Amino acid sequence: MSESLFLQRQSSRFLAAHPREAGWVVHEFGGDSAEELSLNYLLDCLREWHPAAITRRTALPLVGAGTFRNSMPICAASEAGALNSDSEEANAYGWRGTIELIWNGHDIHCHVFSLMLGKGCFGIYFVATKSLAAFRELLLVLERYGKARLKEKKKEIYVVNGENIPVTASSWNDLVLPAPMVRDIRSNVEGFFASPERYTALGIPHRRGFLFAGPPGCGKTLTLKTLAFNTPAKFISMLGTVDVDDSMLRHALDLAEGCTPAVVLLEDLDRIVDAKGVSLSYFLNLLDGLKVLNGVLVIATCNEPDKLDPALLHRPSRFDRVWRFDLPKYEQRLELLQKKGGKYFSESALEKAARRSEGFSMAYAQEIVVNALLECAHEDLPPSDDHLFKSLDTLRMQRKEASKPGESMDERESVGFGLSGHGNR
């Protein structure tokens, strides 16, 4: 059965059960509109705040994977099934089925079913009421409930080709980068999401592309994590793995376009465009031709921008701004060492370590302190300056050995956005 025929049959059945002659007014909402009205939270809202309002329920809550350990997303059992505890059934991201309720003395009947479109599954909501005023009052309660749920929800970065990444607290003060550069990145990102109406007024598409370029371990990843924590937008990431293909890129941009405001993170852009399954011309069209992407900010990272195809960099509509994350200078290395080791080592030792770590990335500079503290823990000794210098010598030797054929510093220092950590990657 085609999707349009299935939708027509579902609609006809609901309308037949709620005839206009009997005083019913029927509304239909697509998934996006329903979520804007928090109708996807109706089941949880009624159970938690107004359980007495439900007169009949055959609805099933849709529960995400995070609710059950080692489980794929499932449709939870009904009230008569295995989940009998309200607390176990709470925090569904949606529901399917029928809910009938009385609100302010008036009947309201709601029905949701799933519609398969391509590879996606979407909810179609039907609401029948005999009192628009009562329905509006219900929507106000749903709005308050939806805002409460949003505050409780832990923010994650959705990864198209990997595990989702929890967003941990990260302050702009955590970034050990040149202050003008931090201000410039922050103002550009905040300005993009704060003023969509300005783009409209000027007739400019509300979309931009930024590129973070530079060697591994120099702050690109920590900057992305800071943006994810401090930016009120949905973050969708694509990792630069060997199996990336055109369909994954299209899926990432489709997701972003459907949940704006959104940020699409393309980590290791140089690897993405070199992947066998990626067509550069198709990728370029996605960025500035086939997709409108209003309200979407694309941020890519790369280690070697000079090796990127000029078509990616020499057209502003693709990547309007490029920031270079260079190896840290003495002042930045010292600031990082002070932040990480100021409690354990003398100022003179930290200054000496900063001078002797020329050519270290931020990740390697931080490792000077981490390695020293681990050595102290293994020996069950309090930290001393000698431990710091020993750690520095070990890492200097390691860097020297890494320059031998067969292993590069990029391979040693590259950690990637998909792995959590606290360094300046």
**Can you give the CATH number for the domain in which 284 is found?**
3.40.50.300
Domain boundary among 153, 173, 194: 153
Judgement on whether residues 316 and 176 belong to the same structural domain of the protein: yes
Q: Given CA atoms 352, 356, 358, 362 in this order, what sign does their dihedral have?
A: negative
Nearest in space to 237 (alpha carbons), one of 171, 155, 150:
155
Asked if residue 420 belongs to a domain, the reply is no
Domain boundary among 153, 173, 193: 153
Q: What is the pLDDT of residue 153?
A: 60
Domain that holds residue 81: 3-153
What is the distance between the alpha carbons of residues 186 and 189, in angstroms, rounded to a whole number?
Answer: 5
What is the distance between the alpha carbons of residues 305 and 181, in angstroms, rounded to a whole number?
Answer: 18
Asked if residue 98 belongs to a domain, the reply is yes
Side-chain-side CA neighbours of residue 412 (13 Å): 17
Asked if residue 356 belongs to a domain, the reply is yes
Judgement on whether residues 280 and 334 belong to the same structural domain of the protein: no
Q: What is the pLDDT of residue 69?
A: 34
DSSP string, 244-269: -BHHHHHHHHHHHHHT-SEEEEESSH
Asked if residue 190 belongs to a domain, the reply is yes
Backbone angles phi, psi at 262, to 5 degrees: -145, 155
Backbone angles phi, psi at 48, to 5 degrees: -85, -35
Which residue is listed with tokens 């749903």?
A: 142
Judgement on whether residues 134 and 178 belong to the same structural domain of the protein: no
Is residue 238 within 8 A of residue 267, CB to CB? The reply is: yes
Judgement on whether residues 168 and 271 belong to the same structural domain of the protein: yes
CA triple 8-119-42, angle to 5 deg: 60
Domain boundary among 118, 138, 153: 153
Q: Given CA atoms 391, 395, 397, 401 in this order, what sign does their dihedral have?
A: positive
Asked if residue 226 belongs to a domain, the reply is yes
Judgement on whether residues 341 and 312 belong to the same structural domain of the protein: no
Name, in order, each residue with C-beta under 8 angstroms of 51's C-beta and a sequence gap of 6 or more.
Answer: none
Q: Is the pTM of this model over 0.75?
A: no
- Torsion, Cα of 268, 269, 271, 273 (10° steps): 170
Q: What is the pLDDT of residue 211?
A: 93
Task: Say which CATH number the domain at 368 has.
Answer: 1.10.8.60
Judgement on whether residues 227 and 368 belong to the same structural domain of the protein: no
CA triple 92-421-340, angle to 5 deg: 135
Asked if residue 424 belongs to a domain, the reply is no
Asked if residue 423 belongs to a domain, the reply is no
Judgement on whether residues 110 and 184 belong to the same structural domain of the protein: no
Tokens of 61: 């809550």
Asked if residue 71 belongs to a domain, the reply is yes
Judgement on whether residues 363 and 234 belong to the same structural domain of the protein: no
Judgement on whether residues 255 and 346 belong to the same structural domain of the protein: no
Q: What is the pLDDT of residue 291?
A: 60
Nearest in space to 412 (alpha carbons), one of 367, 357, 350, 348:
367
Judgement on whether residues 167 and 132 belong to the same structural domain of the protein: no
Mean pLDDT by 10 residues, the chain (425 residues): 70 92 92 86 92 93 52 32 40 86 96 68 87 95 84 77 86 88 92 84 86 91 92 90 89 85 92 90 78 84 85 75 92 93 94 93 92 92 93 89 53 41 45
Judgement on whether residues 135 and 169 belong to the same structural domain of the protein: no
Which residue is listed with tokens 């606290």?
A: 422
Judgement on whether residues 199 and 247 belong to the same structural domain of the protein: yes
Nearest in space to 223 (alpha carbons), one of 271, 178, 255:
178
Nearest in space to 272 (alpha carbons), one of 259, 258, 261, 282:
282
Total domains in the chain come to 3
